[in-house]
């Protein structure tokens, strides 16, 4: 009996690992044309959620279907973030070249802004993946709102992302190809609870 359980566990673990690797690899592949990265991130969230919580055993099929379905909205959202982050990073680099008090304060303010943009960015593709509303403004507003009201969780998710990137870059470069799948798997261990708490808060405010 224990041998059978062990075989089932091994099979389940191998299947899950394979799907995480494949989803990560195809997400990376779809990100190579930078313009399609947003659709890839949305598709990754849709397929990871379906695989982990909806018992769908064909996450790649869902990935490509979602990639096509959400391409337009996800690309618009993504292309809004690229120049915003570029300007903020340029400003941060500029202010860090000076030791004056004003420039140090400006550098700190820009750094905080970058962190908020990153917190919102990691949530906006989750919103596109889980909400029926399909306007850019709605998705951006809701992503920022969730990031602020679930701030502790949002920071934790960002730390997961940074940790996986650091491990991929400095310890195991081969992980870079499948890194998005690993990050998404870690995030979706907590995202259902984050979304549940936020929706509960929304209902409570409407009463």
* pLDDT of 12: 74
DSSP conformation class of 173: G
Instruction: Please determine, for residue 162, whether its predicted confidence score (pLDDT) is greater than 90.
Output: yes
Rg (CA), the chain: 19
> Do the beta carbons of residue 44 and residue 180 sit within 8 Å?
yes
pLDDT band at 6 (very low <50, low <70, confident <90, very high): low
| CB half-sphere exposure, 195, CA atoms < 13 A | 16
Query: CA-to-CA distance for 4 and 204, rounded, in angstroms?
Result: 47
Q: Which residue has the higher pLDDT, 14 or 73?
A: 73
* pLDDT of 147: 93
Query: CA-to-CA distance for 99 and 102, rounded, in angstroms?
Result: 8
* pLDDT of 19: 87
> Do the beta carbons of residue 179 and residue 167 sit within 8 Å?
no
What's the whole-model pTM score? 0.88
DSSP conformation class of 54: S
pLDDT band at 26 (very low <50, low <70, confident <90, very high): very high
Query: CA-to-CA distance for 21 and 177, rounded, in angstroms?
Result: 8
* pLDDT of 185: 94
3-state secondary structure of 177: helix
Query: CA-to-CA distance for 146 and 123, rounded, in angstroms?
Result: 8
Handedness of CA 142, 148, 150, 155 (dihedral sign): positive
2's tokens: 């224990």
pLDDT tens readout for residues 94-149: 888 888 888 889 999 999 999 999 999 999 999 999 988 778 999 999 999 999 99
Query: CA-to-CA distance for 145 and 120, rounded, in angstroms?
Result: 8
pLDDT band at 78 (very low <50, low <70, confident <90, very high): very high
Instruction: Please determine, for residue 4, whether its predicted confidence score (pLDDT) is greater than 60.
Output: no
pLDDT tens readout for residues 121-130: 999 999 999 9
Query: CA-to-CA distance for 91 and 111, rounded, in angstroms?
Result: 9
Query: CA-to-CA distance for 52 and 32, rounded, in angstroms?
Result: 26
* pLDDT of 134: 76
pLDDT tens readout for residues 188-198: 999 999 999 88
> Residue written as tokens 């306007």?
135
């Amino acid at each position: 009996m224990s041998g059978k359980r062990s075989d089932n566990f091994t099979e389940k673990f191998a299947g899950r690992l394979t799907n995480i690797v494949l989803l990560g690899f195809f997400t990376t592949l779809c990100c190579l044309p930078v313009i399609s990265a947003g659709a890839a991130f949305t598709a990754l969230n849709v397929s990871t959620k379906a695989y982990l919580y909806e018992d769908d055993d064909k996450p790649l099929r869902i990935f490509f279907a979602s990639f096509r379905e959400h391409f337009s909205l996800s690309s618009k959202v993504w292309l809004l973030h690229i120049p915003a982050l570029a300007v903020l990073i340029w400003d941060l680099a500029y202010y860090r070249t000076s030791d004056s008090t004003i420039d140090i304060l400006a550098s700190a303010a820009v750094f905080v802004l970058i962190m908020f943009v990153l917190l919102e960015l990691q949530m906006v593709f989750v919103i596109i993946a889980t909400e029926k509303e399909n306007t850019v403004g709605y998705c951006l507003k809701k992503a920022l709102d969730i990031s602020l009201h679930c701030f502790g969780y949002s920071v934790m998710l960002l730390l997961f992302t940074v940790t996986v990137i650091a491990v991929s870059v400095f310890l195991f470069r081969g992980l870079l190809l499948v890194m998005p799948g690993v990050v998404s798997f870690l995030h979706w261990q907590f995202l259902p609870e984050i979304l549940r708490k936020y929706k509960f808060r929304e209902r409570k405010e409407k009463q």
